[in-house]
Structure 1
Amino acid sequence: MLMIAKQVANRRRAMEILTVQQVLAALGITRAQLYYAEETHKIPPARRMSTGKRYYLPEDLDQIKRQLKGRGA
């Protein structure tokens, strides 16, 4: 039973993960703009999977929107 609960929790978490492409589409910016904002510390660094692939959570997207608003990424 505990295994099933863990699997359900993992699926829910996976559904909340946003890819770089999804973030770019939501913000209307380019990959270069996103990475530049990260490199210049205008936004916090992306989270990383064990494979090194970047991902974001919905709350990250909200925070990025607030921080980039009016700054021009």
Structure 2
Amino acid sequence: MVEVLLFAQLREDIGTDRLQVEAEEMTIHELKKQLQESYSLSQMETMMTAINEEYVMDSEVIKAGDTIAFIPPVSGG
């Protein structure tokens, strides 16, 4: 099991700020695809991802006990 933290629009779209997911041995890309299909999300490609508070690429493999955070793009002005 891994914990997935959701922020901003993702939290609103899914209706919670965290999920428990069976995602061990998946890549971040595979997890994004799974969440996109399960929750009809369209913006997963633009999300930054961190595992255990370190930014990672979509090719990173998830391990049991990891905490994954999906962070939306930040705009400022």
What TM-score do you get using the length of structure 1 for normalisation? 0.31
By percentage of residues, which structure has more helix?
1
> Over alpha carbons, which structure has the higher Rg?
1
* Greater relative contact order structure (CA < 8 Å, 6+ sep): 2
By percentage of residues, which structure has more strand?
2
What TM-score do you get using the length of structure 2 for normalisation? 0.30
